[in-house]
Structure 1
Amino acid sequence: MMLSLNTLCIIPNVPKYCRALISRHFSKKTEYLEWKENLKYALENHHELYLRPIRIVNPVHWTSFSRAPLQHRRLKLADNDAILQTKFSTVFSRGFEDLKVYLCNDVVDTALCPLSALSVYLTELREQEETLKEGLSKYAKNDIPEIYVAALLTNHLLSCLVYGNEYLISKDYRRKPPLCPCSNNDCGKYITYGETGVGHADIWYGRPDVVVIPKPNNGYMVPLWYINEEEEDEEDEIRDVHPLEIKVQSKFKHFASQVLSQAITFAFYQSNVIKKRGIVPLTTLVPSLVLTPRHYYIILYDYKNDILLSSGHQDSSLWDDTNDCRLNLSAILHIWMVLNYKDFVPTLDTEVIHHFARSSNIHNILESQNLLEETEKISRKNSLVTSNTNDDDGCVSVKDIKDFIKDPHKRKWY
C-alpha cells in the first residue's frame, strides 16, 4: 500500500532532524515524483562498478602520502590470465536493497537520513548539474586553482549526499575562498576549512583534501582527494598499434601511490577512532574516494583482514556518456553509498575474506619492520614529522572473486 505524503512525514521513532528534512522535501507532490523517477531510472539503468584486489609488492620507505613509492599488482589466475574482481553492488548489497524498498514507498528506519538526503539531491538534480558544469567549465578554461574545484564539488555533490552537509576542506590550501565559488546566486554557502592531517611519522602521513562527516556522527568519516586531471602523452604507447586494439588507459596509475597510502592510513585511523569511543565497528572495510572533474575512483581497505580493493583499473565517469551536461546517476549512487557507509555497511563474503586475508601484503610489510602495532597510534595531527604499475588488461578474461574460490588454479599478482 502506498503511503500518503502526510503519513511519510510523521514517521515515529525517527530523529527530529530527519523528520524536518523529510517534511521539507515531501511538501510538494511534484518534487516527490521527480526524485522518485530519477531514483527508479538510476536503479533500472545502474552501471556496475568493479573492484579488484590490490597487492603492495615493494618494501615501503615510510614517508608522506605525496612521496609514497608504492608499487602494486592486481590478482589473476596463473594459468589462464583471468583477472579477479568483485562487484560494487555485491559489497554494498544492503544499500541497493534499501533503495529498492525505499522506492516502493516503504520506510527504511535504519537509513532514513541518508535516503532522505539522496531524495532531496535527486529533486534538485538539474540545478546541481548546471551549477557544477558551469563551474567546472570555468575552471578548465581559466586555470583556476584546485581549491575552487574542491569547494565546488564538495558543496554541490559530496556534502549534499549526507545529512547535515558536514565536511572539512583542508586548511592547507593557500588560497581559501570564504564562499562557494559557483555562479549560482542562490548558493552563497560558506566553506568550512579545518585540520585534516592524519598519520604516523614512522608510517605514512599527510592530509586528505576533504573529510566528509555524515550525521548522526559516531566516529565514521570518509576521506576524499581531488586530483588535477591532465592529459598524459601516450603517443609512444599507442604507436604502431592497430586502432581496434587501442585501449583507454586508466589515469589512476599516475597517482596510485599517493591515494593507496592515504586510503590504508585512514582506514587504520578510522579503526582507532572507533576503538577509542568504545564502539564495536560495523565493518572493518573502510572506503575512500578520489574525484577529478570528470572521473571518480573508490578504494576500500579492510584493516583487520588486510584486503585492499580498488576500482582504479577503470576511469569511471562522473558524467553521463550520452549527455555531457548530465551527471551519471550510477556515480551518484556509488558515491552516496560510500559517504554513508556506516548506514549501508560494506561487507565481503566470508569465503572471500578467508581466501584473501592478508592479500594486500601491508600487514606483512609492517610486521617485517616491527610497525604493525604502531598503526594503533595513527591519529589526526596538526603537523607530521613514483611507481610504475601495469593497468593494461590486454585480452585477458575477467572472473568474479567468488568464482575463484571454487577454482583450484594457483593465483598470482602481476
Structure 2
Amino acid sequence: MISCNGAESISFTEAKCGFEVLLDNDKEPSFVPFSVMFGKGVSFLKEMENANSEEIEKLQGPMKEAILCLDKFYKSKGKNETSLKTVFDMRHDGKSTITETDITISLAEHLLAKLAPGESYVLDSKAKGKQSCKCGCKKEPTFSYTGIGHELVWHGFIDIVFSSHLGVPSIASALVEEEEETTPKKRKLDEGDGKDKDGSPGGKTITEVKHEIPEQTLVQALAQTIVFSLVQKQRHPDFLNHMVPNIVISPEKFEIMMYDADKDILLCSNSVFLFNLDVRENRTLTNEAVIVLWMVLHYRIFCSGFDTASQAVIEKCKSNFKNLVQSKWNIYSDSLKCCVAGFPSVKSWSVNELLQRGHQLSLN
C-alpha cells in the first residue's frame, strides 16, 4: 500500500487506498497459488475423493462437518441454481425491480450459507427493502448488527456475516455489490457481543454484495478486509493463523481478499466466474466457484496462510498498512468494535470554526 485514509474518521464507502502489485524481479506480478494458500483443504479433498462412506463416518469434528456440508450442497445444487437464476434474471426482464438486498438474500440463502459452517448467517440490519427471498422459496433472512471498526478510523457495516465452526472460531467474508445492501440467516448473533448464541467465539466470515464490482467496491472491500482481520486478532490473539478472507461477490463473479493481521500481508485474487458460459437459461454453477467458496468459508480449517513462509518472504510481502496509519495504530490494534448498531459521529471543524471556538492557551 502506498497511501490510504485509514488514519481518518472514514466510512468504508469513502475509503481510499493507493497500492502497487508486488513484482518479482521488478518484472512479473507475484502470486500465491490457491492450492498453496489452501493446501490443507486441497489435500483433504483429494483424500475424500476416493473415500468410502465408512471412512467418512470416521471423520471427526469440523472436517466431517465440512465434507457433509459440501455433499449436501451438491445433492441440491440444481434447485439452488434455479433459485439464484430466478432472482438474477429479474435484472434483465424489464418487469421486476431487483435490489441489492434481494441479490444479497438470494446469494446468502442459496449459495454462500449452504457452503458455510452451520449454514448460518445474519444480514446488515440497515439493509433497505427487507423481505423474503424473491425466488419464491419464502425464506425469511435474519437481520442483526454488523458494524465493525471505530468511529475515529475506518468503520462501517458488513452486508453478510457468516457463522463460525462450533469449536473452531472461523472468519470469512463475502461482499455483494449493487444499489442497496445485504442479507444473513439462521443462528442469530447476540447483539453487540460478537458471539453466537451457541457460545462459539468470533471468527466469523463477512460478505459484501453488489450488482457489479467496480474499482471503488474493491477499495471498500480492502478496508473491510483489513479491519475485520484486525478485529479477529484483537479478540482472538491465540489463533495460529490470522489470514482472514473477504468474499466480494456479484451475480456474475467474485474475488477473494485476504489480510493477515499478524504478518501484515494483503492478498487479492483474480475474478472467479460463478456460472459457466452456456446460454443464460442453461448456465450452471462451476465446480471451481463452489469449491473455492466452500474452502474460503471454512478457511479456519483449510487455509495454510504464510505459516511455512520464510521471514525474508514475509518481509517482502508486507502491505505497509501499519506504517500508513501509525498515528492511529493503537486504535486498530486495541480498540476496534464488532457487531455494533452504529458509530457516534466525530465532529469535523472547519478552519473558521477552529479560530472562532478556540481557547486561549495560558503561557503562565
1:314-365, CA deviations, whole angstroms, 9 ceiling, x for partnerless residues?
Answer: 3321111346510011011111111111121332253355423362111111
* Percentage of matched positions with identical amino acids: 24
Q: Is 1:57–1:73's contact at 8 Å kept on the other side of the alignment?
A: no
SS of aligned partner of 1:164: helix
Aligned to 2:262: 304
Aligned to 2:275: 319
1:133 aligns with 2:85: yes
| Aligned-partner Cα distance in 2 for 1:302–1:120 | 31
Change (3 A) 1:140 1:225: farther
SS of aligned partner of 2:221: helix
Q: Is 2:11–2:156's contact at 8 Å kept on the other side of the alignment?
A: yes
SS of aligned partner of 1:265: helix
Change (3 A) 1:99 1:198: same
Query: Structure 2, unaligned stretches of length 5 or more?
Result: 180-211, 345-364
SS of aligned partner of 2:333: helix
| Aligned-partner Cα distance in 2 for 1:101–1:301 | 28
Amino acid at match of 2:81: E
Q: How far apart are residue 97 of structure 1 and its match?
A: 1.0
Q: Is 1:251–1:315's contact at 8 Å kept on the other side of the alignment?
A: no
Q: Give the one of 126, 135, 144 matched to 1:182.
A: 135
Please list, as runs of the form range in 1=range in 2, the aligned pairs for 1:292-371 lying within 5 A after superposition: 292-311=250-269, 314-322=270-278, 324=280, 325-348=283-306, 350-351=308-309, 354-357=312-315, 359-367=318-326, 369-371=327-329
Query: Structure 1, unaligned stretches of length 5 or more?
Result: 1-54, 230-249, 386-414
Q: How far apart are residue 88 of structure 1 and its match?
A: 1.0
Aligned to 1:401: none
| Aligned-partner Cα distance in 2 for 1:351–1:225 | 29
1:211 aligns with 2:161: yes
TM-score normalised by the chain length of structure 1: 0.67
| Aligned-partner Cα distance in 1 for 2:331–2:129 | 38
Amino acid at match of 2:318: S
Corresponding residue pairs, total: 299
Q: Is 1:220–1:270's contact at 8 Å kept on the other side of the alignment?
A: no
SS of aligned partner of 1:151: helix
TM-score normalised by the chain length of structure 2: 0.76
Aligned to 2:222: 260
Amino acid at match of 2:226: I
| Aligned-partner Cα distance in 2 for 1:120–1:93 | 23
1:93 aligns with 2:39: yes
In terms of mean alpha carbon deviation, does 132-141 or 349-358 score higher? 349-358
Aligned to 1:391: none
| Aligned-partner Cα distance in 2 for 1:176–1:165 | 20
Higher relative contact order (CA 8 A, sep 6+): 1
In terms of mean alpha carbon deviation, does 301-310 or 162-171 score higher? 162-171
SS of aligned partner of 1:85: coil
Aligned to 2:63: 111
| Aligned-partner Cα distance in 2 for 1:307–1:196 | 24
